[in-house]
Amino acid sequence: MTINQTQLSSKELQQQDAHGWFQGLLGNSCSESKNCDDDDDDDDDDDDDMTKMKALVVAPMVEQSDLPFRLLCRKYGANLCYTPMFHARMFLTRPRYRAQFWNLDVIRKINKKDRPLIVQFCGGDPMEMLEAAKVVEDHCDAVDVNCGCPQGIARRGNYGAFLLEKEELLLKIVRVLHEGLKKVPVTVKVRLLPPKCCTMQEKGCTCQSDGSVYCLESSLSLYERLIDAGAAILTVHCRTRHQKGHNTGAADWSAVRQVVEKLGHRIPIIANGGIANMDDVEQCLLETKADGVMSSEAVLEYPPIFKRNGSHTKFSNNKRTGPGRVALCNEYLDIAEEYPPDVGGQGSGMKCVRTHIHHFLSADLESNPTVRDMTISAKSYGDLRKALQAIELYHNQSNMEVEDETQHWYFRHRCEDKEGKMVSKTAMFGKSQILAGGELNEETAKGIACLFGNCNDASDY
Query: Annotated catalytic sites, by residue?
Result: 149
Assess whether the previous peptide bond of 60 is cis (omega < 30° from 0): no
Classify burial at 173, counting beta carbons within 10 Å of its beta carbon; exposed 0-12, middle 13-18, buried 19 or more.
buried
Quote the radius of gyration of the chain (alpha carbons, Å).
21
Residue type, 350: M
Specify which residues 122 forms β-bridges with. Answer: 87
Report which DSSP code applies to 193: P
Other CB atoms within 10 A of residue 267 CB: 23
Which of 131, 127, 163 lies closest to 145 in space, CA to CA?
A: 163
Phi then psi for residue 199, to 5 deg, are -120, 10
Ordered alpha helix ranges (H), 200-252: 216-229
SS3 state at 215: coil
172, 126 contact by CB (below 8 A):
yes
Specify which residues 422 forms β-bridges with. Answer: 416
Phi then psi for residue 142, to 5 deg, are -170, 160
123, 160 contact by CB (below 8 A):
no
For 9-105, list the strands marked E by DSSP: 55-58, 80-87
CA distance 29 to 317: 30
Strands 186-191, 55-58: pairing is: unpaired
Phi then psi for residue 429, to 5 deg, are -115, -15
Other CB atoms within 10 A of residue 446 CB: 13
Q: What is the largest CA-CA distance in the chain?
A: 67
SS3 state at 294: strand
